[in-house]
Chains A and B, each alone.
Chain A
Amino acid sequence: GAGVSQSPRYKVAKRGQDVALRCDPISGHVSLFWYQQALGQGPEFLTYFQNEAQLDKSGLPSDRFFAERPEGSVSTLKIQRTQQEDSAVYLCASSPQGGFQQPQHFGDGTRLSIL
């Protein structure tokens, strides 16, 4: 498809397990963003890539969160030793150019539930 693709759509894990969330942005898009969205709230910024470079990771809530985009296309968000407060929808977005002052195209998200 032509849109941003995220997998899995749903993930259930036990507290303490590691999880990996995948994002496949629109082909050719330079910028890639990860967000965390809790129920009833807006998306909260986690991290930003311009091509393969992670230019901002100031929104990652702890060192248990790690993101990469090694070839400047597909990105993976990894959460180690998951906690119940990590339960949320994780959204990935991409945009054609570098920077953040432009519209973003969102994937359908991964709904993560930590038991």
Chain B
Amino acid sequence: QKEVEQNSGPLSVPEGAIASLNCTYSDRGSQSFFWYRQYSGKSPELIMSIYSNGDKEDGRFTAQLNKASQYVSLLIRDSQPSDSATYLCAAPGTNAGKSTFGDGTTLTVKP
């Protein structure tokens, strides 16, 4: 079992809808959480970071963290076709030098 689990998808939403991406992690020592976007054939690109329980908003993106439930999510409002990509959740744990990634959720936004 991976330390970071994501719904593999694929997730398909119509343009303008809200896309909801979910992630759970197993290491209670994790203190920081990241969402990366990865277009096909490209490298991961950081889009959100969150460190405290609650919500963090940045433009159309909202990250939500619940440490008690070991759950982190990403909401994308007003989804655009350009948001179509794989979204990777990262939850670095307490093991030195490790930044643990999930396998990603592939999102397709249909025009």
- In the assembled complex, which residues on chain A have CB atoms less than 8 Å from the CB atom of B46? 103-105
Closest residue to A105 on the B side, CB-wise?
Answer: B46
Pick 25 A–B contacts, CB within 8 A, sort by A. Answer: A41-B103, A42-B4, A42-B88, A42-B102, A42-B103, A43-B44, A43-B88, A43-B101, A44-B101, A45-B97, A47-B97, A48-B96, A48-B97, A48-B98, A55-B97, A58-B95, A58-B97, A100-B96, A100-B98, A100-B99, A101-B31, A104-B99, A106-B43, A106-B45, A108-B42
Does B53 count as interface, using CB distance less than 8 angstroms? no
Contact with A along B20-51 (1 / 0, CB 8 A): 00000000000110101000001111100100
Contact with B along A70-96 (1 / 0, CB 8 A): 000000000000000000000101000
Provide the bound-state CA to CA distance between A8 and B67, in Å. 40
Assess the A55–B42 pair: CB atoms within 8 A: no
Assess the B43–A100 pair: CB atoms within 8 A: no
Q: Number of A interface residues, CB 8 Å?
A: 26
- A-B pairs with lowest CB-CB distance, top 6: A56-B97, A48-B97, A42-B101, A106-B43, A101-B32, A42-B103
The bracket for how many chain B residues form the interface is 20 to 34
Assess the A33–B44 pair: CB atoms within 8 A: no
- In the assembled complex, which residues on chain A have CB atoms less than 8 Å from the CB atom of B4? 42
Assess the B31–A103 pair: CB atoms within 8 A: no
- In the assembled complex, which residues on chain B have CB atoms less than 8 Å from the CB atom of A48? 96-98
Q: Which of A40, A45, A58 contacts B103 (CB 8 A)?
A: A40
Closest residue to A6 on the B side, CB-wise?
Answer: B43
Given the interface contacts A41-B103, A42-B88, does A107 sit within 8 Å of B43 by beta carbon? yes
Provide the bound-state CA to CA distance between A105 and B95, in Å. 20
Provide the bound-state CA to CA distance between A40 and B44, in Å. 13
Does B100 count as interface, using CB distance less than 8 angstroms? yes
